[in-house]
Amino acid sequence: MSDEANWEDAGAVKRFMFVNRKAPHGTIYALEALEVVLISAAFDQDVSLAFLDDGVHQLRQGQDAKALGMKNFAPTFRALDDYDIDKLYVEAESLAQRGLSAEELIVPVQVVDRERMSALMAEQDVVMSF
């Protein structure tokens, strides 16, 4: 992609947080959010992901989207580590409300309570919510 070639302000590093609030299927939000995350890795920024509300379902193990005729993109979350994206925050309340635990997720995450999540968001330069 030619965008990176035009990138001149190479010294700037900002804290980017991508907030995932929607279920993995049903709408395209989760998939297209993940596409932004992958591109952001090319810009050497300080990137983190937050999962809350139905967004926590994006990380569930054992997803099978075949019957929907859709791509199962959940394994891509496992590849984020290769892009040096390793700050994945999951809201404890959202997990609990859905009867889920961190052990049922496809990648290691940091489970944080709502108050801590709020503080993390406040520390960011750029928050993109999907």
| Strand boundaries in 1-130, DSSP class E | 15-20, 46-51, 87-91, 110-112, 126-129
Minimum CB separation of residue 32 from other proteins in Å reads 5
The torsion angles phi and psi of 56, rounded to 5 degrees, stand at -65, -25
Closest CA relative to residue 33, chosen from 58, 53, 10, 8: 58
Contacting residues toward other proteins, per CB under 8 A: 1-4, 6-7, 9, 12, 14, 16, 28-29, 32, 35-36, 39-40, 42-43, 45, 125-130
53: left (phi over 0), alpha (psi -120 to 50) or beta: left
Q: Which is nearer to other proteins, 14 or 78 (CB)?
A: 14
Q: Which is nearer to other proteins, 102 or 128 (CB)?
A: 128
Minimum CB separation of residue 78 from other proteins in Å reads 21
Q: Which is nearer to other proteins, 21 or 111 (CB)?
A: 21
